[in-house]
Chain A
Amino acid sequence: AQKVTQAQTEISVVEKEDVTLDCVYETRDTTYYLFWYKQPPSGELVFLIRRNSFDEQNEISGRYSWNFQKSTSSFNFTITASQVVDSAVYFCALSEANMGRRALTFGSGTRLQVQP
């Protein structure tokens, strides 16, 4: 069965620090998709990135970067020079293309607090 683990429940940093959010996944499917979502205090989930299992290239988008490593089943998310507006709960999620249902399975989330 598919599973996503976010071991860090809560992280607190000071503004301008770099921070990495960890995500480890389990799946038996050979084709799968990994996602990161941000949940600000308003509650709505905001899509950040989607990565398929055949593309292990790291991705950078402004201050955000993602490190996908199939060898360790990890899809970690780094925020460089964090800002107060980055404070939110971040969820990693997985969906399988061939096995089981095609719906997102979420980790338990990591709450990031960025102090001014």
Chain B
Amino acid sequence: DGGITQSPKYLFRKEGQNVTLSCEQNLNHDAMYWYRQDPGQGLRLIYYSQIVNDFQKGDIAEGYSVSREKKESFPLTVTSAQKNPTAFYLCASARDLMNTEAFFGQGTRLTVV
């Protein structure tokens, strides 16, 4: 089945550690996105990518890094520089950046312990 797969579903991290969230899509989409969701708030854009080897910062990129070495994959690393990383992270993809609808993964809930 075509879709977006995020893993793991739940992730626990100790303070000071980097952690990488996986996002894979088999929809042949060019554009991919990472959003962060906090309780009672909407989704905020962290990073987005239009094509392989290219990505742009969103509204809250500080403390995060990404790579886009393959069309299908857009991993997000939460670094120790991110002051408040506990949140729900959603990955999305779209056919392109031309305002087509985005399809979302099931999310990764990250908790810092």
In the complex, A88 has a CB within 8 A of chain B: no
Chain B window 82-101, contacts with chain A (Cβ cutoff 8 Å), 1 for yes, 0 for no: 00000010101000011111
Do B48 and A107 touch (CB < 8 A)? no
Interface centre among A4, A32, A43, A107 (most CB of B within 10 A): A43
Do A109 and B42 touch (CB < 8 A)? yes
Q: How many residues of B contact A (CB 8 A)?
A: 27
Do B102 and A101 touch (CB < 8 A)? no
List of B residues within 8 angstroms of A35 by Cβ: 101
List of B residues within 8 angstroms of A43 by Cβ: 88, 90, 106-107, 109
Do B99 and A97 touch (CB < 8 A)? yes
In the complex, B33 has a CB within 8 A of chain A: yes
Do B42 and A44 touch (CB < 8 A)? no
Task: Tell me the complex Cα distance, A46–B42, Å.
Answer: 15
Task: Tell me the complex Cα distance, A70–B66, Å.
Answer: 37
Task: Tell me the complex Cα distance, A108–B44, Å.
Answer: 10
Interface of chain B residues 52 through 86 with chain A (CB within 8 A): 56, 58
Interface of chain B residues 12 through 51 with chain A (CB within 8 A): 31, 33, 35, 40-45, 48
List the interface of chain B (C-beta within 8 A of A).
31, 33, 35, 40-45, 48, 56, 58, 88, 90, 92, 97-107, 109
By Cβ-Cβ distance, the 3 closest A-B pairs, closest first, are: A106-B42, A102-B97, A45-B104
List the interface of chain A (C-beta within 8 A of B).
4, 6, 9, 32-33, 35, 37, 42-47, 50, 52, 91, 95, 97, 101-109
